[in-house]
Amino acid sequence: MSTIAKDDIAAFNDYVRKQTARLNARGETSTDIMDNLFVGYLACTDQRFVSYVERVQQDWQDDPASSLMYELLMTKMESHYQTCILAGNWKAVTKEQEQIIALTAKVKHFEQHQPKKT
């Protein structure tokens, strides 16, 4: 994901579709596309998206005979990605990240205003 699409789910899906088409053109198939898709999606740096992927993956693992096929998974992930972009939530800072940023700023401020020991 990070080297192929740099967190662009649509580009990642396009890459997977092209690779799958190449396999099919040679009469080959892959039995682990779902697993590899989840690995790719989980490599995304957007933590909210990763949480969503983890929930979908857990549902799929709980019921692997479900109707979730790789094409549907790709459509679902791309739809969620587009929704996040339109809502302005894509790569938005989480509450935990906000707290870390605030605490880091406080520590730096504290360090800068400490009397120097001689």
Tell me the DSSP string of 64-114. TTSS--HHHHHHHHHHHHHHHHHHT-TTPPPHHHHHHHHHHHHHHHHHHTS
Of the two residues 34 and 95, the one the predictor is more confident about is 34
Quick one: what percent of the chain has pLDDT higher than 90? Answer: 62
pLDDT digits (tens, 9 = 90+) for 40-72: 999 999 999 999 999 999 999 998 777 789 999
Number of domains making up the chain: 1
Give the domain range for residue 37: 9-92
C-alpha 74/C-alpha 9 separation (Å) is: 9
- Looking at residue 118, its pLDDT comes to 64
In this prediction, residues 84-101 reach a mean pLDDT of: 86
- Looking at residue 53, its pLDDT comes to 98
- Looking at residue 117, its pLDDT comes to 72
User: Rounded to whole angstroms, what are the CA distances from 36 to 73, 79, 86?
Assistant: 12, 19, 27
Q: Is 14 within a domain?
A: yes
Q: Is 112 within a domain?
A: no
- Looking at residue 27, its pLDDT comes to 95
- Looking at residue 2, its pLDDT comes to 66
Q: Is 100 within a domain?
A: no
The torsion angles phi and psi of 70, rounded to 5 degrees, stand at -60, -35
- What average pLDDT is seen over the chain? 90
Q: Is 104 within a domain?
A: no
